[in-house]
Amino acid sequence: MRELHLIAHDIRSCENIGALFRTADALGVHKIWLTGYTPAPPDPKIQKTALGAENAVVFEKHEDIEQVLKQLDEEGFTLVGLELGAESVDIRSYAPPDKIALLLGTETTGIPPSLIERCDHLIQIPMHGVKESMNVTIAAAIASYAILNHSV
């Protein structure tokens, strides 16, 4: 069974974090890592959108993402960035490993270049509109579903 962790790095919106907890709970994500300035429970705004999922999903809060990345690497996780880009693989053709940590970036600028360099793989959700972006929680939900339900 595949083990998926989400790394929410520098995501400012408490509402997005609450929705991320609900998504993780619904899809069977193993753990959420809240890094950088990402807010963490307990927080009334997170609780309002998480609807109790913040109590059901395992999470850790760390300001230093490097500490988290080192730990995940030592535990055998593959670091995958969810980011549009020339080197990103279409999520529909990506064969996820058994232990995967999915890195999510900020709502406005995505994953910083220094962290993109740290990723083992980059994946993207094909876009058809003119905006070529979506809410971080929606993107995380689509990617998590695809990763957890990919048949070998």
Q: What is the pLDDT of residues 77-91, one digit of tens each?
A: 999 999 998 899 999
Domain of residue 43, CATH code: 3.40.1280.10
* pLDDT score, position 152: 62
Domains in the chain: how many in total?
1
Q: What DSSP letter does each residue of 20-60 carry, written as one string?
A: HHHHHHHHT--EEEEETT---SS-HHHHHHHTTGGGTSEEE
Residue 151 confidence (pLDDT) above 80: no
* pLDDT score, position 19: 98
Residue 40 sits in which domain range? 3-148
- pLDDT digits over 85-113, tens only? 889 999 999 999 999 999 999 888 999 99
CA neighbor of 16 nearest in space, from 143, 145, 137: 137
* pLDDT score, position 131: 81
* pLDDT score, position 129: 85
For residue 106, what is the DSSP state?
Answer: B
The Cα angle at residue 89 between residues 85 and 95, in degrees rounded to 5: 155
